Amino acid sequence: MRSKIRELEKSNKTLTRSNNGLLYDKDRVTREKKEAEYEKNLTKNGVNALTREIEHLRRDTDVDKKKIIDLIRFRDMMSKSIKKAEDENYKNKDEISKKNTEIQLLKRQAAAKQENIKDLLVQIYSLEKERDRFSHEASKANANLMQMVEEVKLK
Protein backbone atom coordinates (compact mmCIF):
# COMPACT_ATOMS: atom_id res chain seq x y z
CA MET A 1 0.00 0.00 0.00
CA ARG A 2 2.74 2.32 0.70
CA SER A 3 3.91 2.08 -2.78
CA LYS A 4 0.51 2.98 -4.03
CA ILE A 5 0.42 5.95 -1.72
CA ARG A 6 3.80 7.01 -2.99
CA GLU A 7 2.67 6.58 -6.50
CA LEU A 8 -0.44 8.54 -5.77
CA GLU A 9 1.57 11.27 -4.06
CA LYS A 10 3.91 11.33 -7.02
CA SER A 11 1.00 11.43 -9.36
CA ASN A 12 -0.60 14.13 -7.21
CA LYS A 13 2.59 16.22 -7.33
CA THR A 14 2.78 15.76 -11.08
CA LEU A 15 -0.85 16.71 -11.45
CA THR A 16 -0.40 19.68 -9.14
CA ARG A 17 2.61 20.83 -11.18
CA SER A 18 0.67 20.24 -14.32
CA ASN A 19 -2.34 22.08 -12.85
CA ASN A 20 -0.10 24.98 -11.76
CA GLY A 21 1.43 25.09 -15.26
CA LEU A 22 -2.02 25.06 -16.79
CA LEU A 23 -3.17 27.82 -14.40
CA TYR A 24 -0.09 29.83 -15.32
CA ASP A 25 -0.82 29.21 -19.03
CA LYS A 26 -4.46 30.15 -18.45
CA ASP A 27 -3.42 33.44 -16.77
CA ARG A 28 -0.92 34.10 -19.57
CA VAL A 29 -3.57 33.37 -22.25
CA THR A 30 -6.08 35.58 -20.38
CA ARG A 31 -3.53 38.41 -20.26
CA GLU A 32 -2.73 37.91 -23.95
CA LYS A 33 -6.46 37.84 -24.71
CA LYS A 34 -6.95 41.13 -22.80
CA GLU A 35 -3.95 42.65 -24.61
CA ALA A 36 -5.33 41.40 -27.93
CA GLU A 37 -8.76 42.88 -27.12
CA TYR A 38 -7.09 46.16 -26.09
CA GLU A 39 -5.11 46.19 -29.36
CA LYS A 40 -8.30 45.23 -31.22
CA ASN A 41 -10.13 48.20 -29.64
CA LEU A 42 -7.18 50.50 -30.42
CA THR A 43 -7.16 49.22 -33.99
CA LYS A 44 -10.95 49.66 -34.28
CA ASN A 45 -10.67 53.20 -32.95
CA GLY A 46 -7.78 53.85 -35.34
CA VAL A 47 -9.80 52.43 -38.25
CA ASN A 48 -12.81 54.55 -37.24
CA ALA A 49 -10.61 57.66 -37.00
CA LEU A 50 -9.05 56.87 -40.38
CA THR A 51 -12.51 56.28 -41.86
CA ARG A 52 -13.68 59.67 -40.55
CA GLU A 53 -10.50 61.27 -41.85
CA ILE A 54 -11.00 59.60 -45.25
CA GLU A 55 -14.59 60.88 -45.38
CA HIS A 56 -13.44 64.36 -44.38
CA LEU A 57 -10.70 64.24 -47.01
CA ARG A 58 -13.20 62.96 -49.59
CA ARG A 59 -15.52 65.91 -48.85
CA ASP A 60 -12.56 68.30 -49.02
CA THR A 61 -11.51 66.69 -52.29
CA ASP A 62 -15.03 67.11 -53.70
CA VAL A 63 -15.07 70.76 -52.63
CA ASP A 64 -11.60 71.25 -54.14
CA LYS A 65 -12.71 69.57 -57.38
CA LYS A 66 -15.68 71.94 -57.59
CA LYS A 67 -13.39 74.90 -56.92
CA ILE A 68 -10.99 73.68 -59.61
CA ILE A 69 -13.85 73.28 -62.09
CA ASP A 70 -15.08 76.79 -61.24
CA LEU A 71 -11.55 78.17 -61.59
CA ILE A 72 -11.12 76.42 -64.95
CA ARG A 73 -14.45 77.86 -66.09
CA PHE A 74 -13.38 81.31 -64.85
CA ARG A 75 -10.00 80.95 -66.58
CA ASP A 76 -11.74 80.04 -69.84
CA MET A 77 -14.06 83.04 -69.51
CA MET A 78 -11.08 85.28 -68.80
CA SER A 79 -9.23 83.84 -71.81
CA LYS A 80 -12.24 84.61 -74.01
CA SER A 81 -12.48 88.11 -72.54
CA ILE A 82 -8.76 88.68 -73.09
CA LYS A 83 -9.02 87.43 -76.66
CA LYS A 84 -12.02 89.68 -77.26
CA ALA A 85 -10.17 92.65 -75.72
CA GLU A 86 -7.07 91.91 -77.83
CA ASP A 87 -9.22 91.77 -80.98
CA GLU A 88 -10.90 95.02 -79.99
CA ASN A 89 -7.51 96.60 -79.28
CA TYR A 90 -6.27 95.48 -82.68
CA LYS A 91 -9.34 96.99 -84.34
CA ASN A 92 -8.93 100.20 -82.33
CA LYS A 93 -5.24 100.43 -83.26
CA ASP A 94 -6.13 99.90 -86.91
CA GLU A 95 -8.86 102.55 -86.67
CA ILE A 96 -6.46 104.95 -84.90
CA SER A 97 -3.91 104.36 -87.62
CA LYS A 98 -6.52 105.12 -90.28
CA LYS A 99 -7.66 108.23 -88.39
CA ASN A 100 -4.05 109.43 -88.03
CA THR A 101 -3.52 108.95 -91.76
CA GLU A 102 -6.74 110.85 -92.43
CA ILE A 103 -5.64 113.63 -90.05
CA GLN A 104 -2.29 113.92 -91.83
CA LEU A 105 -4.08 114.10 -95.19
CA LEU A 106 -6.45 116.78 -93.85
CA LYS A 107 -3.51 118.74 -92.40
CA ARG A 108 -1.75 118.64 -95.77
CA GLN A 109 -4.97 119.73 -97.51
CA ALA A 110 -5.45 122.54 -94.96
CA ALA A 111 -1.83 123.67 -95.47
CA ALA A 112 -2.35 123.63 -99.24
CA LYS A 113 -5.57 125.64 -98.85
CA GLN A 114 -3.75 128.10 -96.57
CA GLU A 115 -1.11 128.53 -99.26
CA ASN A 116 -3.86 128.99 -101.85
CA ILE A 117 -5.54 131.58 -99.60
CA LYS A 118 -2.23 133.44 -99.22
CA ASP A 119 -1.74 133.41 -102.98
CA LEU A 120 -5.31 134.62 -103.49
CA LEU A 121 -4.84 137.40 -100.92
CA VAL A 122 -1.67 138.48 -102.70
CA GLN A 123 -3.59 138.47 -105.99
CA ILE A 124 -6.48 140.41 -104.38
CA TYR A 125 -4.04 142.98 -103.00
CA SER A 126 -2.36 143.26 -106.38
CA LEU A 127 -5.75 143.58 -108.15
CA GLU A 128 -6.93 146.23 -105.66
CA LYS A 129 -3.73 148.19 -106.26
CA GLU A 130 -4.27 147.88 -109.99
CA ARG A 131 -7.93 148.91 -109.59
CA ASP A 132 -6.93 151.93 -107.52
CA ARG A 133 -4.31 152.87 -110.11
CA PHE A 134 -6.85 152.46 -112.94
CA SER A 135 -9.45 154.34 -110.92
CA HIS A 136 -6.96 157.12 -110.35
CA GLU A 137 -6.07 157.16 -114.06
CA ALA A 138 -9.77 157.11 -114.95
CA SER A 139 -10.34 160.03 -112.59
CA LYS A 140 -7.48 161.93 -114.19
CA ALA A 141 -8.78 161.07 -117.64
CA ASN A 142 -12.27 162.08 -116.59
CA ALA A 143 -10.94 165.32 -115.13
CA ASN A 144 -8.99 165.96 -118.36
CA LEU A 145 -12.14 165.17 -120.31
CA MET A 146 -14.17 167.59 -118.22
CA GLN A 147 -11.51 170.20 -118.60
CA MET A 148 -11.46 169.67 -122.33
CA VAL A 149 -15.24 169.77 -122.47
CA GLU A 150 -15.08 173.09 -120.58
CA GLU A 151 -12.45 174.34 -122.91
CA VAL A 152 -14.55 173.29 -125.91
CA LYS A 153 -17.55 175.03 -124.42
CA LEU A 154 -15.54 178.13 -123.92
CA LYS A 155 -14.20 178.17 -127.37
* pLDDT above 90: residue 38: yes
pLDDT(1) > 80 = no
Query: What pLDDT, on the 0 to 100 scale, is given for residue 3?
Result: 84
Distance CA 29, CA 36 (A): 10
Q: How many CA atoms lie within 13 A of 120 on its CB side?
A: 6
**Cα(128)–Cα(112) distance, rounded to whole angstroms?**
24
Model's pTM, two decimal places?
0.47
According to the model, what pLDDT value does residue 151 have?
87
